[in-house]
Amino acid sequence: MAKKTVEDIDLKGKKVLVRVDFNVPVKEGVITDDTRIKAALPTITYILNHGGKAILFSHLGRVKTEEDKAGKSLAPVAKRLSELLDKPVNFVSETRGKDLEDAISNLGDGDVVVFENTRFEDIDGKKESKNDPELGKYWASLGDVFVNDAFGTAHRSHASNVGIASTGIPTVAGYLMEKEIKFIQEAVENPKRPMVAILGGAKVSDKIGVIENLIEKADKILIGGGMTYTFYEAKGLGIGNSLVEADKVELAKSLIEKAGDKLILPVDSVTAAEFSNDVPTETHDYDVPEGQMGLDIGPKTVELFADVLKDAKTVVWNGPMGVFEMSNFQKGTIGVCEAIANLKDATTIIGGGDSAAAAEQLGFADKFSHISTGGGASLELLEGKTLPGLAAINDK
Ligand code: ADP
Ligand code: MG
């Protein structure tokens, strides 16, 4: 179902509540990566250009106790936003109360206020994270319309997304939310074929829902990363000391059976005696010998995967092919990135925090059609789940 967006409502002179995802890394008061702030700019700029009064809010990190508040203020974010917008941004250091209400009534058309970390409301009874209805009602009372652009929290039912929306205030999606949904949902529900899913990362258990959903949807599923060895165990192949989830071997067996020749496992691994970049590596076809652990897919697997990928029209990738954080074990992930970069006419999507980080770190970020900004939310979309934050947005 298509959702209303910021373009479907009148913003002129309206107090526009905007739930953004400003959950950026902050070290000693300095923002170390402002990608998420930049990702929110199209929506904010659109609202300001159309005469809205923007009231912005977000969570930042986890806040359970008074001490957790240190370093979790949105003040540095408001400052950075002011630089990016090249205009003043008023910051209110509370999540409710007179200062906030006054700041909002003083807003002129095209003005911006940011208020404090929504999770500061979690100290006293988790009001934000448990979606306390009073809190959602209070925040909703501060505005005329609600724009939800926080895709990264769309899989959560919190006061600052679902709570506000469920008061009945007109609720629409921002551009980031719209873009994430368009790419990921379309790739899963209505892909151009052939569709190839690449699934890796550490554990099968994190990705069961995704594998089960994509077995139905994809034409091929390529498996890499640590989860390879649980599948190997299921097939009776040698795994040495590789990562394995003993309680998921039966599940792996049934997935192999269900998927048939859709599911493609690595044919070789790069291994080492320790989880370390400082010991010699070996390459082995199929079985990993005793004393070794599989830490990356091998060169033959890269070739095999590249061959499957070359005809793909849709590629969905979640989970690195190896321990890409160590230079000895990044060739598999690089190889898959290269194969994807070579595709001419395909929609290519990365969902997953570490996979996105890998593509950035290895220099392939601009080669993808879409890199999701929301790890957990994109995973749940790939699982075919309904995201509560998305469901709460008004239908077109
Ligand atoms: P994402 O965040 O993209 O969903 P995951 O969190 O599932 O990805 O997995 C990422 C992690 O998996 C990385 O830190 C990587 O080092 C690890 N990993 C990949 N391959 C292996 C392997 N063979 N053995 C152990 N860990 C692995
Ligand atoms: Mg991860």
Query: CA 348 from chain center: how many Å?
Result: 15
**Are the C-beta atoms of 215 and 264 separated by less than 8 Å?**
no
Residue 28, φ and ψ in degrees, nearest 5: 50, 50
Smallest CA-to-CA distance from 265 within 226, 323, 209 is with 226
pLDDT in tens, the chain (396 residues): 689 999 999 999 999 999 999 999 999 889 999 999 999 999 999 999 999 999 999 999 999 999 999 999 999 999 999 999 999 999 999 999 999 999 999 999 999 999 999 999 999 899 999 999 999 999 999 999 999 999 999 999 999 999 999 999 999 999 999 999 999 999 999 999 999 999 999 999 989 899 999 999 999 999 999 999 999 999 999 999 999 999 999 999 999 999 999 999 999 999 999 999 999 999 999 999 999 999 999 999 999 999 999 999 999 999 999 999 999 999 999 999 999 999 999 999 998 889 999 999 999 999 999 999 888 899 999 999 999 999 999 999
Q: Is 240 in the pocket of ligand 1 (CB under 6 A)?
A: no
- 376 belongs to the catalytic site: yes
Candidate list 201, 298, 335, 353, residue with the active-site label: 353
Q: Please tell me the distance from the alpha carbon of residue 138 to that of residue 156, in angstroms, as a whole number.
A: 19
Residue 243 three-state SS: coil
Smallest CA-to-CA distance from 173 within 138, 142, 148 is with 148
Residue 198, φ and ψ in degrees, nearest 5: -115, 120
DSSP 142-204: T-SEEEE--GGGTTS--IIIIIHHTTT--EEE-HHHHHHHHHHHHHHHS--SSEEEEE-SS-S
* Residue where the block lists tokens 């905007």: 18
Q: Is 76 in the pocket of ligand 1 (CB under 6 A)?
A: no
Structure tokens at 266: 């690595």
pLDDT of residue 29: 87
List, in sequence order, every residue forming a beta bridge with 371; answer none if it has no partner: 350
* Residue where the block lists tokens 């769309």: 154
pLDDT of residue 1: 64
Residue 214, φ and ψ in degrees, nearest 5: -75, -20
Q: Please tell me the distance from the alpha carbon of residue 21 to that of residue 37, in angstroms, as a whole number.
A: 7
H helices of the chain, where?
A: 35-49, 75-85, 98-105, 133-141, 164-165, 175-189, 208-217, 228-235, 249-259, 299-309, 331-341, 353-361, 375-382, 388-391
E strand or H helix at 285, and its extent?
strand 281-285
Structure tokens at 365: 């970020």
8-state DSSP, 2: P
Q: Please tell me the distance from the alpha carbon of residue 96 to that of residue 262, in angstroms, as a whole number.
A: 53
Sign of CA dihedral 322, 324, 328, 331: positive
- Give the Å distance between the CA of 191 and the centre of ligand 1: 26
Q: Ligand 1, atom 22: nearest CA belongs to which residue?
A: 226
Q: Ligand 1, atom 9: nearest CA belongs to which residue?
A: 201
- Give the Å distance between the CA of 12 and the centre of ligand 1: 47
**Are the C-beta atoms of 47 and 76 separated by less than 8 Å?**
no
Query: CA 346 from chain center: how many Å?
Result: 21
Candidate list 19, 36, 156, 248, residue with the active-site label: 36
Ligand nearest to the CA of 356: 1
**Are the C-beta atoms of 300 and 183 separated by less than 8 Å?**
no
Q: Is 256 in the pocket of ligand 1 (CB under 6 A)?
A: no
The reported pTM is: 0.89
* Residue where the block lists tokens 């005329």: 144
Ligand nearest to the CA of 200: 1
H helices of 342-382, where?
A: 353-361, 375-382
**Amino acid at the residue 138:** Y
Query: CA 164 from chain center: how many Å?
Result: 22
8-state DSSP, 5: B
How far is the first Cα of the chain from the last one, in angstroms, to the nearest whole number?
A: 8
Q: Ligand 1, atom 25: nearest CA belongs to which residue?
A: 226
- Give the Å distance between the CA of 188 and the centre of ligand 1: 22
